[in-house]
């Protein structure tokens, strides 16, 4: 219980990431999205934003899963509420997280637009993520605060882009069902679903 950010959001047992060690629990699930006709399987770990007490677990997971890309889809604080603990050191600083030492070597500022009115900024972001994922077989860790809302939007969008490129039909609801079989409640609100459908349409038309 102490390792969950929200009382009502827990990972499914069958797809949860199991840490090696005595404390094996982290609020995170494997989410694998297969792209028919292309041989591509996009591998993700959908996780909650770390708590002050779970940063060490988070980095242990990253290390054990050989992950080299983390996608954070929340601010640390939004509307006066803590959404995610800062789980990395300040620029040029090094911090210990259990057996691991983490150093921040570079920082790029990303403008804070809140929820985008226009899908274009979001699509630019997804394209950046995809560029960095090129050739990766290890899972990409994606998290927001609970690890279900914006996390689900990003996975849906990347899956749809891959389907379009593979000349496969895109059924957003089927993508959401496939995701939700692996982690509960991915894509949390009607407005998030509407937003991602509009973004998919834009990519399809472009």
Residues 19 and 62: their CA atoms lie apart, in Å, by 10
Helix, strand and coil percent figures for the chain, each rounded to 5? 35, 20, 45
Task: List CB contacts of 76: < 8 A, sequence separation 6 or more.
Answer: 82, 83, 84, 85, 86
Report the b/e string of 186-195 with b at 16+ CB within 10 A: bbbeeebbeb
Whether residue 197 lies in the annotated active site:
no
Strands 40-47 and 140-143: parallel
Catalytic residue among 55, 84, 144, 162: 144
Q: How many whole angstroms separate alpha carbon 46 and alpha carbon 29?
A: 5
Strand ranges in 62-181 using DSSP code E only, listed in sequence order: 70-72, 77-78, 81-82, 94-97, 100-103, 140-143
Question: Is the CB of residue 142 less than 8 Å from the CB of residue 71?
Answer: yes
| Catalytic annotation, residues | 144
């Amino acid at each position: 219980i102490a390792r969950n950010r929200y009382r009502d959001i827990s990972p499914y047992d069958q797809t949860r990431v199991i840490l090696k060690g005595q404390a094996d629990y982290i609020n995170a699930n494997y989410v694998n999205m297969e792209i028919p006709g292309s041989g591509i399987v996009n591998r993700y770990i959908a996780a909650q934003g770390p708590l002050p007490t779970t940063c060490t677990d988070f980095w242990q997971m990253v290390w054990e899963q050989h992950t080299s890309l983390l996608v954070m889809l929340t601010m640390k604080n939004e509307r006066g509420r803590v959404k995610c603990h800062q789980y990395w050191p300040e620029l040029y600083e090094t911090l210990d997280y259990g057996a691991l030492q983490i150093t921040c070597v570079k920082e790029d500022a990303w403008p804070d637009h809140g929820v985008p009115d226009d899908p274009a900024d979001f699509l630019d972001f997804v394209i950046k993520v995809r560029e960095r994922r090129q050739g990766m077989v290890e899972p990409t860790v994606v998290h927001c605060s609970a690890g279900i809302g914006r996390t689900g939007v990003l996975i849906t969008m990347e899956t749809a882009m891959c389907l379009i490129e593979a000349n496969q039909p895109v059924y957003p609801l089927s993508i959401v069902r496939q995701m939700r079989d692996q982690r509960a409640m991915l894509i949390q609100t009607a407005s998030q679903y509407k937003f991602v459908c509009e973004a998919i349409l834009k990519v399809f038309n472009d």
